[in-house]
Amino acid sequence: MASVEEDEDIEVVVVDNWSAEPVDSAQVGARVIRLEDERGGPASARTAGLDATTAPYVFPLDADDLLLPGALGRMADLLDATPEAAFAWGDYELFGDYEGRYRGPARWLPWSLLYVNQYPVCSMFRREALVAAGGWREGGYEDWSLWLALAGLGLRGIASKRVVYRRRMHGPNRALAGQRARHSELYEMLHERHAALFARREELLHAEDPPVWKRIAYPIVFGKRAVLPFRFEAWLQRTAMKRGLSLGP
């Protein structure tokens, strides 16, 4: 909570997602919403937070992650200065089990998004864009699904190209590993949920105009088949982040 304190006038909502010890509002100095359904995942928690806010900009932050000083103000200023952008993302640093930096894509890439999600979970959204996209939906790959919904609405975003927050690393990500084990099933769900966007694949390809290597590699390496084993994919991401390399164009 301390990392959220800013000079800006912000509205903070803490979502207690079925924790063993209920979060006390006075202790954290913010409004607390407790979810009583133990089956709810990250999508339920984020949607509850969205429903509880009235702020024009929304930034979801996971419990273990830390905002950099002034980050919210800088992201809001970026959206203020770019009225055509419905959302903004940045980079993040890693700490804990290992350190590094994740560099997000330099621009909005809907064709690439059909194959792999490279946009940070913790990004800033215009409230009306989130509502129009339906917020975060349960079923797995909730963040990827949100980005696809935003793309399906024809909305665009902007990269801040600065570090926005710090993400704590706890070793193997069991939740992500579980999703990767079900990747074909979940990817098919995304394809059905966002069928209209996937049907525009060729149009999006021409608009993005990726390099030849990417046109060839993405449909093979990513997509439904996901030929990279999860352990190798995780190692590849760790190596890139430790060296501060970009995983997106």
pLDDT tens sequence across 50-78: 998 889 999 999 888 999 999 999 999 99
Confidence of residue 173 (pLDDT cuts 50, 70, 90): low
Count of domains for the chain: 1
Quick check: is 47 in a domain? no
Quick check: is 7 in a domain? no
Question: CATH number for the domain including 75?
Answer: 3.90.550.10
Q: What's the rounded mean pLDDT across residues 231-245? A: 57
The pLDDT value given to residue 143 = 96
pLDDT above 90 (res 14): no
**Structure tokens that stand for 174 in this block:** 């069991």
Quick check: is 237 in a domain? yes
Stated pTM of the model: 0.86
Residues in Cβ contact with 34 at an 8 Å cutoff, skipping those fewer than 6 apart: 15, 16, 18, 22, 23
Q: What's the rounded mean pLDDT across residues 66-91? A: 96
Give the SS3 label for residue 138.
coil
| Phi, psi (rounded to 5 degrees) for 210 | -70, 160
Quick check: is 23 in a domain? no
Quick check: is 8 in a domain? no
Quick check: is 39 in a domain? no
CA-closest candidate to residue 165, choices 46, 56, 62:
62
Determine the structural domain holding residue 93 and report its residue range. Answer: 56-242
CA-closest candidate to residue 29, choices 52, 53, 2:
2
pLDDT, the chain, mean: 84
- Pick 180 or 140 by higher pLDDT: 140
pLDDT above 90 (res 37): no
Quick check: is 1 in a domain? no
Determine the Cα angle at 142 with ends 129 and 233, to 5°.
125
pLDDT above 80 (res 219): yes
Quick check: is 99 in a domain? yes
For a pLDDT cut of 90, what percent of the chain falls above it?
Answer: 52
The pLDDT value given to residue 223 = 79
Partners of 124 in beta bridges:
88
| Phi, psi (rounded to 5 degrees) for 115 | -110, -35
pLDDT above 80 (res 178): no
The secondary structure of 43-87 as a DSSP string is: HHHHHHHHHH---SEE----TT-EEPTTHHHHHHHHHHH-TT-SE
